[in-house]
């Protein structure tokens, strides 16, 4: 099974400052048909996870443009250009494979300093 490793696991950030989270895969996530389905989800305190980014860099509907995703192969990054108080929570990367199982990273907890 593919293992996703996130870093850091804890991320204290001052409001207005940028933040980035890394997600490294144990093997390439490139599908045979040329797509890479690496997503980012945010679980705010007390809430269900919500989709932020799909397919490495495509923002989901309604997601602010301060969120961006990048990467390829085995290395991926979620960036927040200017962190706001409402961004607190746990961020997960997830890979959607051609053949299951799907896997999530361990999660990165973003908190406001």
Residues that bind another protein (CB under 8 A): 1, 35, 37, 39, 41, 43, 48-51, 53-55, 58, 60-61, 90, 92, 94, 96, 99-107
Q: Which is nearer to another protein, 41 or 67 (CB)?
A: 41
Q: How far is the CB of 13 from another protein (least distance, A)?
A: 20
Question: For residues 16 and 100, which CB has a smaller minimum distance to another protein in the complex?
Answer: 100
Q: Least distance from C-beta 49 to another protein, angstroms?
A: 6
Q: What is the 3-state secondary structure (H, E, C) of 60-91?
A: CCCCCCCEEEEEECCEEEEEECCCCHHHCEEE
Smallest gap, in angstroms, from Cβ of residue 96 to another protein? 6
Cα 61-66-70 angle, rounded to 5 deg: 85
Nearest CA-CA partner of 24 in 75, 87, 71, 70: 75
- The least CB distance from residue 2 to another protein, in Å, is 11
Contact 81, 73 (CB under 8 A): no
């Amino acid at each position: 099974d593919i293992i996703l490793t996130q870093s850091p696991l804890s991320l204290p950030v001052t409001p207005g400052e940028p933040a980035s989270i890394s997600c490294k895969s144990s093997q390439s996530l490139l599908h045979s048909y040329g797509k890479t389905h690496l997503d980012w989800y945010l679980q705010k305190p007390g809430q269900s996870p919500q989709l932020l980014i799909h397919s490495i860099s495509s923002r989901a509907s309604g997601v602010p443009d301060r969120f961006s995703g990048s990467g390829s192969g085995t290395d991926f990054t979620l960036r927040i250009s200017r962190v706001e108080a409402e961004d607190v929570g746990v961020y997960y990367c997830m890979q959607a494979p051609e053949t299951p199982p799907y896997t999530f990273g361990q999660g990165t907890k973003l908190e406001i300093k």
